[in-house]
């Protein structure tokens, strides 16, 4: 089958299209013929040699895809060949065929185009598992999202607003700020021009949950903006891996800092997340309250351009690869 092959750690020139062996569905697994795959920052890190897949997982990149069921492994009896699905992967989405545990496969929400569904699973799973399952964002609380115009950010805005929360986001341009406000953000902060902690202080806003992609660079300020009982959930380290944490401030606020990774969670945890997505989030998609924001689609052969688009941070929402 055709797949994206990485010739060695490096820039986008390391990405090529090659032939690899077709995967086979084992017991409890589903073989998906891929229609489209989401491009995520984790893929950029893997290409550079900084984010190896878990042991036993294919080296083909791609953490989410949509497509049709091609074959069923032993013990899988609740799906039909040909059904349209989307899947949460540990790897393998940048290829014509992908194998995934049954628990990480979900039906495409009614009314959502199959290609667009490739941009739903990773962001929805990330936001739901961290903001709601871990941090337990409640109605009326304030959520601060760093990178509000990203795939995760645009999903977080819509999902939080649909569940009655208030949302502040940081963005890198006035255009992205406008876009986030149209999605429902209550407050936008241009991090190139403003200190988000100072803006929140001036507005007298105390944050209940922070969804953080920056890590060390924002750690001190993330804790500073929390109200009593506030929760920081860090899911990325774009701003470094080592920071200083004032435990006194954390204690005085009865606050917490948590760091999570979706890719390395056990299969059972991922299955629970996907199950909750289908019951809690898919109805919002079908009602029109949540949609994957697709910035651009590229054919598989243009994977270098897809990665460059993400690296430039010029996108709003998701970048997808399509397979004919």
Sign of the alpha-carbon dihedral angle for 121, 303, 295, 153:
positive
How many other β-carbons are positioned within 10 Å of the β-carbon of residue 277?
Answer: 22
CA 165 to chain centre: 20
pLDDT tops 90 at residue 324: no
The answer to whether residues 299 and 321 touch, using CB atoms and an 8 Å cutoff, is yes
| Span 206-224, average pLDDT | 96
- What confidence score (pLDDT) does residue 288 get? 96
Coil, strand or helix at 131: helix
* Predicted TM-score (pTM) above 0.85: yes
- What confidence score (pLDDT) does residue 133 get? 98
Highest CATH level, class, for 2-120+263-322: alpha beta
pLDDT tops 90 at residue 313: no
**Burial of 239 from C-beta contacts in 10 A (0-12 / 13-18 / 19+):** middle
**Burial of 57 from C-beta contacts in 10 A (0-12 / 13-18 / 19+):** middle
Q: Structural domain boundaries of the chain?
A: 2-120+263-322, 124-259
- Over the stretch 97-127, which tens digit does the pLDDT of each residue have? 999 999 999 999 999 999 999 999 999 999 9
| Span 75-96, average pLDDT | 97
- Over the stretch 246-270, which tens digit does the pLDDT of each residue have? 999 999 999 999 999 999 999 999 9
| Span 150-169, average pLDDT | 97
pLDDT tops 80 at residue 90: yes
> How far apart are alpha carbons 280 and 27 in whole angstroms?
28
**44, two tokens:** 């950029």
- Over the stretch 51-84, which tens digit does the pLDDT of each residue have? 999 999 999 999 999 999 999 999 999 999 999 9
- Per-residue CA distances from 11 to 303, 312, 314 (Å): 12, 13, 18
pLDDT tops 80 at residue 196: yes
CA 36 to chain centre: 16
- The dihedral region occupied by 166, where left means phi > 0, alpha psi between -120 and 50, and beta the remainder, is beta
- What confidence score (pLDDT) does residue 170 get? 98
> Mean pLDDT of all residues in the chain?
97
pLDDT tops 80 at residue 232: yes
Q: For residue 47, what is the enclosing H or E element?
A: helix 41-47
Q: Which of 36, 30, 86, 93 is CA-nearest to residue 61?
A: 93
- What confidence score (pLDDT) does residue 314 get? 84
- Per-residue CA distances from 290 to 30, 87, 156, 208, 308 (Å): 27, 18, 10, 22, 27
How many other β-carbons are positioned within 10 Å of the β-carbon of residue 194?
Answer: 13
Does the fold of domain 124-259 match that of domain 2-120+263-322?
A: no
Could you say which DSSP state residue 240 is in? -
Q: How many CA atoms lie within 13 A of 80 on its CB side?
A: 3
| Span 300-316, average pLDDT | 95
| Span 170-197, average pLDDT | 97
CATH architecture group of domain 124-259: 3-Layer(aba) Sandwich (3.40)
Q: Are strands 142-146 and 187-190 parallel, antiparallel or unpaired?
A: unpaired
Percentage of residues of the chain with pLDDT beyond 90 = 97
List the Cα angle 248/140/137 in 5-degree steps. Answer: 60
């Amino acid at each position: 089958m055709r797949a994206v092959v990485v010739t060695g750690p490096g820039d986008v020139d390391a990405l090529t299209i090659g032939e690899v062996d077709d995967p086979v569905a084992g017991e409890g697994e589903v073989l998906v013929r891929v229609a489209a795959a989401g491009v995520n920052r984790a893929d950029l890190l893997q290409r550079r040699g900084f984010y190896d897949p878990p042991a036993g997982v294919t080296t083909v990149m791609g953490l989410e895809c949509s497509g049709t069921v091609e074959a069923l492994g032993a013990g899988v009896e609740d799906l039909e060949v040909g059904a349209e699905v989307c899947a949460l992967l540990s790897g393998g989405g940048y290829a014509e065929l992908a194998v995934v545990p049954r628990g990480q496969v979900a039906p495409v929400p009614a009314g959502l185009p199959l290609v667009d569904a490739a941009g739903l699973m990773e962001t929805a799973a990330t936001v739901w598992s961290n903001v709601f399952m871990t941090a337990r964002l409640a109605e009326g609380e304030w959520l601060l999202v760093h990178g509000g115009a990203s795939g995760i950010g645009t999903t977080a805005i819509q999902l939080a607003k649909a569940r009655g929360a208030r949302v502040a986001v940081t963005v890198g341009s006035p255009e992205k700020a406008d876009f986030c406000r149209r999605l429902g953000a209550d407050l936008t902060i241009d991090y190139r021009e403003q200190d988000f902690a100072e803006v929140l202080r001036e507005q007298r806003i105390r944050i209940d949950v922070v969804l953080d992609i920056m890590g060390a660079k924002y750690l001190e300020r993330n804790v500073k903006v929390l109200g009593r009982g506030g929760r920081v959930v860090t899911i990325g380290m774009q701003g470094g891996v080592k920071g200083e944490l004032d435990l006194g401030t954390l204690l005085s606020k009865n606050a917490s800092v948590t760091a999570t990774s979706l890719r390395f969670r056990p299969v059972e945890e991922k299955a629970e997340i996907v199950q909750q997505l289908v019951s809690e989030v898919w109805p919002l998609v079908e009602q029109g309250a949540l949609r994957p924001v697709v910035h651009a689609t590229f054919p598989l052969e243009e994977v270098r351009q897809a990665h460059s688009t993400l690296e430039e941070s010029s996108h709003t929402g998701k970048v997808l690869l399509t397979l004919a």
